Amino acid sequence: MKIAFKMKLKPGFEAEYKKRHDEIWPELATLLKENGISDYSIFLDEETNNLFAVQQQRGSSSQDLGSTQIVQKWWAYMADIMETNEDNSPKTFPLEMVFHLA
């Protein structure tokens, strides 16, 4: 199943967001893969600072892993550059697929 959602990056943090993801923690990448998340991409709309994420999943979505220590640590690490909820999780907004060309 493919899912998509959007998040919001705070202005001026585009390079830092990319840097942090270029250096994603190996244990976080492993956790995602072990929970059936693959083909995970995040795109930035530079006009609005909206982040658009799409991922293929067999099991939990990446947001469902929020009870794990490593995800909570990642959320805290990213909280200074993104719009977040009180628990540091990124504010996410699910997107509905309206077209797909295979």
Whole-angstrom distance, CA of residue 17 vs CA of residue 44? 10
| Residue 17: other Cβ atoms inside 10 A | 19
Which pair of tokens denotes residue 75?
């959320």
Confirm whether 21 is a catalytic residue.
Answer: yes
Burial 33-72 (b: 16+ CB within 10 A, else e): eebebeeeebeeeeeebebebebebeeebbeebbeeeebe
The catalytically annotated residue of 21, 27, 76, 85 is 21
Catalytic residues: 21
